[in-house]
Copies of this chain bind each other. A is one copy, B any other.
């Protein structure tokens, strides 16, 4: 199973949330956070001006499967104590993307220079959490075996809009044998805070996916004859929706460079 992932996990990766954030904050680490603090929740990041925050918060609450909120900061506050006591959202991710009116203007490793008193931080659940639960149950995840990024598509399913935020649901796909697909539905149902159960299974054409071999994002992981494609709502959805809304200013995490929290994935299981 997952040779590449196993290799990374055995290495000298930080084993706890505080260690991970210290290595990023003061150690100059700028790579992906996969394998950091095993068992801890990692999150997608979106930072928006307060003028847009209410609409975005509504958008997340209207679309909980692609946008499961782990935490929301107070305006101007760079802390999220419900996710980690020592967290400084301006320094504790390896790399960020800064946008003005939809255009990426910088990819810094620290956003203290961009901080404003009206910025609101959103931490959004990510599929790392449920993938850990699937792997622990012995379910093979092809993109991890291959060492590639999970394939993702924009679908014909519309999100529920809120203010300027609207657009298609983006899904990630994992090919699974039918009994593993059933088990994966059961397991991910337990994790509604990190995308939860799949949104679709087995018939990509019904959700506007014309070619299962060519994802819109990520890399291919084509189902074999004895597998079904299983589709989960994806945290790229809010990123795409924010990009399309072209807010005057926003900051997100750099792909793969996630927020590492002190919360445990198992805390987010509903049973």
Contacts and interface: CB of A to CB of B under 8 A. Distances in A.
Interface residues of A, number: 18
A182 B197 contact: yes
A228 interface: yes
Where chain A touches its partner, the secondary structure class is mixed
Contacts of A226: 203, 206
A199 B177 CA distance: 11
B203 A182 contact: no
A271 B179 CA distance: 22
Contacts of A186: 185-186, 189, 197
Nearest to A225: B203
A201 B189 contact: no
A228 B206 contact: no
Nearest to A206: B226
A182 B185 contact: yes
Nearest to A197: B182
A140 to B, nearest CB: 16
9 closest pairs, A vs B, by CB? A202-B202, A185-B185, A178-B201, A202-B228, A178-B200, A186-B189, A178-B203, A182-B198, A178-B202
